[in-house]
Structure 1
Amino acid sequence: MKFAVIGTGKTGGKVVEMLGEDQLVGPFDSSNKPTVSKLEEADAAILFVPGAAVDELMEPLMESGIPAAWGTTGYEWPNDLDHQLKQQHLKWLQASNFSLGMNIVRRCLNIIGQSSSVLDHPEFLIHEVHHKHKQDAPSGTAISWEQWLGKEAKITSERKGDIKGIHQLEVKTDTESIHLKHRAHDRKIFAQGAIWAAEQLVNGDVSPGFYDLSTIFDNVMQQ
């Protein structure tokens, strides 16, 4: 299977490292932009690009007809994107965090949020830490944690060093605290997850449309 890799930053670069030469189309970046003809050489695209680059890439990707796994945060996707993709028989997905372990955490957060009704006035605190070059704060993953929890939470952020990603939840009452923490030790986990996700779009039982990684993950777990 061949993958067009678009974006060669910290995570996109890891994807390139993991793929063999016979699996790689590109890689592409702002100085080597993908063309429709080059994208058509791939079975799927994997993108780790900033939100500002999305609009320029959407048209050639749609025209190429290949599935795409987007690792872009800080971008507001068009409301009709799912409809557009279905009309063109295209399969795309997006994730704020491609760690497959994070999807296990997501399930835990669902349970914590649903079960917290038995607690006496719980307070929900989410804290995230990333490398000093990360532009958006709070991280897309921290925002997703609040959504997965299903409760309003106070979100705080830190930017320092070369930290790959730390996310933690504290559920706090006057009498007890519950802690849940996920730490990324190597950006390889995001590259692995992105490749896995793109493979599901190509080989999995996925209908055309626009998906969150969580939907694809849950479908695979139920098979």
Structure 2
Amino acid sequence: MKYGLVGASGRMGGEIQRIFAAHELCYTLDVTGETSEGVPEVLIDFSQPSALGTTIAVAGRYSCSLVLGTTGLSEAQLEEVKDLGRSVPVVQSFNFAAGVTLFKMILREFGPLFSDWDVEICETHHNKKKDAPSGTAILLRDALGRDCPAHSLRMGGVPGDHSVIFASEGEVFSLTHRAISRSVFAYGALRAAEFAVAAQPGFYSFEEVLTCRRKTS
């Protein structure tokens, strides 16, 4: 598989290159400039919201699939990504860890059982992360289907911790997902890339990748 990488010189970019070692990196874009040694089948972007316009242009130029893991996107930017999905396969998620997808599914299924409990979300990330609350916290809140506070900590080198805490008058119940290494997100991106290069044009979630739900032409 030939792939391109936006943000190649960043920490996540380096992790993606390590996990994608069996595949050919033929296009890169980062703060140092652009390099191209072929046509990518899929473009990977885990960089910054400010790069999205360029990412969409590159995916359109090469008519390649896109795996987008950038967080902090605005609603308008998400609409641009969905528009791109009309012409190429796009997999977008704020978190490419399989465990977070399971977390979402659990909340969606069982969250209504706690509708009369207080609920809050707590998330911790490394001190370089700019957006707060995290994209994952927003995903979990959406899965709950109810508005609730989300508390953010930015400390050290934490890849990502997320807890949803329910409390009634007599008990407390919590669910937690902890990313131990950034590699979990890179492995998820690889799975998404392999899915995308075989998919029809469309806008896909990571949950659809894990359940292999491709759109039909």
Is 1:12 the counterpart of 2:13? The answer is yes
User: Residue in 2 aligned with 1:3?
Assistant: 3
User: Residue in 2 aligned with 1:95?
Assistant: 93
Is 1:57 the counterpart of 2:50? The answer is no
User: Residue in 1 aligned with 2:85?
Assistant: 85
Is 1:125 the counterpart of 2:126? The answer is no
Report how far residue 78 of structure 1 moved.
5.0
**TM-score normalized by the length of structure 1:** 0.86
Distance verdict in 2 for CA 1:2–1:112, change over 3 Å: same
| One-letter amino acid of the structure 1 residue matched with residue 53 of structure 2 | D
3-state SS, counterpart of residue 151 of structure 2:
strand
Report how far residue 21 of structure 1 moved.
6.4
User: Residue in 1 aligned with 2:40?
Assistant: 42
Paired positions, count: 211
Unaligned runs of 5+ in 2: none
Is 1:179 the counterpart of 2:177? The answer is no
3-state SS, counterpart of residue 103 of structure 1:
helix
3-state SS, counterpart of residue 147 of structure 2:
coil
Retained in 1: the 8 A contact 2:45–2:55?
A: no
**TM-score normalized by the length of structure 2:** 0.89
Distance verdict in 2 for CA 1:211–1:152, change over 3 Å: same
| One-letter amino acid of the structure 1 residue matched with residue 139 of structure 2 | S
Report how far residue 46 of structure 1 moved.
1.0
Question: Following the alignment from structure 2 to structure 1, what is the Cα–Cα distance between the partners of residues 55 and 105?
Answer: 32
Report how far residue 217 of structure 1 moved.
2.7
Retained in 2: the 8 A contact 1:83–1:209?
A: no
Distance verdict in 2 for CA 1:141–1:78, change over 3 Å: closer
3-state SS, counterpart of residue 33 of structure 1:
strand
Retained in 2: the 8 A contact 1:14–1:187?
A: yes
Question: Following the alignment from structure 1 to structure 2, what is the Cα–Cα distance between the partners of residues 5 and 56?
Answer: 12
Is 1:152 the counterpart of 2:139? The answer is no
Question: Following the alignment from structure 1 to structure 2, what is the Cα–Cα distance between the partners of residues 54 and 34?
Answer: 17
Unaligned runs of 5+ in 1: none
Report how far residue 123 of structure 1 moved.
0.6
Report how far residue 216 of structure 1 moved.
3.0
Question: Following the alignment from structure 1 to structure 2, what is the Cα–Cα distance between the partners of residues 16 and 129?
Answer: 25
Is 1:208 the counterpart of 2:201? The answer is yes
Aligned ranges for residues 68-79 of structure 1 at < 5 Å?
68-76=66-74, 77=77, 79=79
3-state SS, counterpart of residue 33 of structure 2:
coil
Question: Following the alignment from structure 2 to structure 1, what is the Cα–Cα distance between the partners of residues 169 and 71?
Answer: 35
